[in-house]
Amino acid sequence: MVKNVLIFRSKCNDDKDDNYEKLLSNDGYNVKTISPIQFQYCNDSLLKEYLKNWTKYYGIIFTSKRAVDAVQFVLKDEQNLIEQWKKKKLYCEGPATAKLVNELFCAQSVGSETGTAEKLAEFIVKDVNRDEKFCLLFPCAEMRNDKLPERLTQANIAFDELTVYGTTISASLESELKDYLVEKKPDVLGFFSPSGFNNVYEISKKVGLDLENCCIVSIGDTTSKRVRCITNDKTIKEERCLKPTPVDFYETVKKMCGPV
């Protein structure tokens, strides 16, 4: 019997070939992606000032594609700054973020294979050259994982953290979800962020989405904790996918509901 997988993930212009959908579809799953959030960028003038002060920094940390987008926006028509930053350490969480960073700076980022903020922090702690200036720039989300900054602080690694974007509920989430539920009943729900889960949970009863009768795949430790905290671990069947990659997500879905 065909399984229905509903993914709550922000799709962007760079997602022309969505491998999260592709891997599952090729294996016979019915897949749909709905964006539960929309992004609001902020502090662009301040971010530009930080980037202009490139001599202060050993490198820059990216834990999301949105942070890369924010930097790319303020570096538009600033080729000289791009040239200076490409010589720095470009730390990235996950291959999708690394791909954007590599394209922006025409340089090779490091750390993407770690897959989580916690593991990236450990990578950075081991990688920094303490004989050089090792203050790092960390453009991030309003709601970000605490583990990376906590670990850097613990290791006495200086960093400047700047919120460059926040999230709000997608204006089309409720209508898209209603339309989907008219035709299908999801077997698996995939959540890629704590805020994404919050938004879906808030409207779930209103639109008739029964979370207790779905398998939930949470991307990363922070999202998993939010799911378990809000649902109080009641009768929710939830599995954590440790790495934010299409293959890991695909394998976790298969583990939960078996072959099609």
Q: What is the CATH number of the domain that holds 239?
A: 3.40.50.10090
Query: pLDDT for 158-185, tens place per residue?
Result: 999 999 999 899 999 999 999 999 999 9
Whether residue 31 is found in the same domain as residue 55: no
> Which of 122, 145, 167 finishes a domain?
167
Q: What is the mean pLDDT of residues 191-209?
A: 94
Report CA 55 to chain centroid distance, whole Å.
Answer: 29
Rounded to whole angstroms, the Cα distance separating 106 from 62 reads 15
Whether residue 162 is found in the same domain as residue 48: yes
Query: pLDDT for 8-67, tens place per residue?
Result: 998 764 555 588 999 999 999 999 999 999 999 999 999 999 999 999 999 999 999 999
Element (H, E) at 188: strand 188-191
Domain carrying residue 214: 4-36+171-257
> Which of 118, 140, 167 finishes a domain?
167
How many domains in the chain?
A: 2
Whether residue 94 is found in the same domain as residue 199: no
Whether residue 138 is found in the same domain as residue 54: yes
Q: What does the angle CA 146 – CA 148 – CA 151 come to, to the nearest 5 degrees?
A: 105
Whether residue 19 is found in the same domain as residue 95: no
Whether residue 78 is found in the same domain as residue 116: yes
